[in-house]
Amino acid sequence: MGEMPALSGMLFCADCGAKLYQVRHRGWTHEQEIFVCASYRKHKGICTPHQIHNVQVEEILLNRLKRITAYARANETEFVELLTKQNEKELARLMRDSSRELAQAKERIKKLDGILQRLYEDNIDGKISDERFARMSATYEAEQKQLEARAVELESAMAAAKEERLNVDSFMGMVRRYTDITELTAEIIRSFVEKIEVKKPEKVPGTRTKKQTLVIWWNFIGVVDIPEEPEEPEEPEEQRETA
């Protein structure tokens, strides 16, 4: 249609990981344009639609972008500390899960060595035929190769995670560059946003409405939970009238 939507390629399904397709037709207004999960659109039943309107994403993204940049400008020290603590927590989780999986993989590789050795000895002693030995050993060797490849992958990921550092300076540089964000542009979106994960709508208990959660991954700093600002207490009615 001669124009690339600003959010095109930025949205992903939180459940299956597929991109969300932009759906629009000639004659539609911008308010009618929607995104739909690619897996659902190609093969019904693999996933759910995760359908969401462009304007809904834009409104949420603009509000969160204003909030995170305002907080970062007003509380730079606290912002850096928040990101550092969050990164350490995520790193600890990653290292714990990866270490557990790596240990399991190495233990299984060791067991497979023993199984293959016994198969070889049984074949030499004539307890199993050459054909059966070839078939069984091929199966175990294939599993062993997969586990060895996964072990290398895990070790590399753990090493990279230890060396990775949050590039807070780069994010703060963008915060200082875009001091007054009033609307979204393709440049602003791609400067600040790595990707947006869209969760499926969930029914709000006791109501007919549904809510849909977006998880925004910011460039350089990932997902960040900014502390909620305390609401200012309302002035008594009579005090507001005499002010």
Q: What is the DSSP code string of the chain?
A: -----TTTTTEEETTT-PBEEEE--TT--GGG-EEEEHHHHHSTTSS----EEHHHHHHHHHHHHHHHHHHHHHTHHHHHHHHHHHHHHHHHHHHHHHHHHHHHHHHHHHHHHHHHHHHHHHHHTTSS-HHHHHHHHHHHHHHHHHHHHHHHHHHHHHHHHHH----HHHHHHHHHH-----S--HHHHHHHEEEEEEPPPEEPTTSS-EE--EEEEETTTBS--PPPPPPPPPPPHHHHHH-
> What pLDDT does residue 242 have?
32
> What pLDDT does residue 192 have?
95
Q: Which range, of 26-30, 39-43, 84-88, averages the lowest pLDDT?
A: 84-88
Q: Where are the domains of the chain?
A: 11-77+181-218, 79-163
Report the C-alpha gap between 24 and 41 in whole angstroms.
14
State the pLDDT confidence band at 152, using cuts at 50, 70 and 90.
confident
On whether the CB atoms of residues 112 and 118 are closer than 8 A, the answer is: no
User: CA 224: distance to chain centroid?
Assistant: 12
Assess whether pLDDT exceeds 80 at residue 230: no
Strand order in the sheet with 20-23: 20-23, 34-37, 52-53
Compute the average pLDDT of residues 74-96: 79
Summarize pLDDT for 47-60 with one digit per residue, the tens: 999 999 999 999 99
> What pLDDT does residue 92 have?
72
On whether the CB atoms of residues 170 and 100 are closer than 8 A, the answer is: no
Query: Count of alpha carbons within 13 Å of 132, Cβ hemisphere only?
Result: 8
Summarize pLDDT for 90-146 with one digit per residue, the tens: 667 777 888 888 889 889 889 999 999 999 898 888 888 888 888 888 988 999 889
Find, among 212, 215, 94, the residue nearest to 157 by Cα.
94
Summarize pLDDT for 167-211 with one digit per residue, the tens: 788 888 999 999 889 999 999 999 999 999 999 888 888 887 888
